[in-house]
A and B are shown apart, each in its own frame.
Chain A
């Protein structure tokens, strides 16, 4: 499985967009980019995933660079409840072994 690199922590003002970067320079052609988040002492929750096109759902947007070596998760209007650890993961479309890194701890401040 490809390795990902994320900043350990980030701050964001409430109501502003939170842009969380992820580097996955060794990603292979059949690997998808997934994002999960974990609110303190709970199980992680799926947010979004993509292969090479940008994706949007009710929670967030995912922007993947053309060379697929990096991506950005965008929370368009961050709220205090978005304070959590965000994990960027790459995994094959047909695989099921999911490896989590240390993630980015996002602090949303009033």
Chain B
């Protein structure tokens, strides 16, 4: 079945360590996104990518990095520079928005990161 796979589902990290969250999609979507969600809050955009080898910062990119070497993959690295990394991280994908009426985001199940 087509969809988005995020891994790991739960992750624990010590302060000062970098950690990489995986996001893979087999929907043949051009665009991919990373969001962060804190308890009781909405989603905040970290990074997004319209096409392979290109990505843009969202609203809260500091302390995070991404790569887009393949169309189906968009990993997110939470670096030690991120002050409060404990959160729920959601990856999404969509068709390219330009000129399209409907641009539906498809989300993965999320990765819950806890910094000890």
Contacts and interface: CB of A to CB of B under 8 A. Distances in A.
Contact of B110 (A32, A41, A93, A94): A41
A44 B106 CA distance: 8
Nearest to B112: A41
**Interface residues of B toward A: which range?**
20 to 34
Contacts of A92: 97
B100 A43 contact: no
Contacts, number: 67
B104 interface: yes
Contacts of B35: 100
B63 interface: no
A49 interface: yes
A43 B48 contact: no
Given A96-B31, A97-B48, A101-B42, A46 B105 contact: yes
Interface of A: 32, 36, 41-46, 49, 51, 87, 91-103
Interface of B: 4, 31, 33, 35, 41-45, 48, 50, 58-59, 88, 90, 92, 94, 96-110, 112
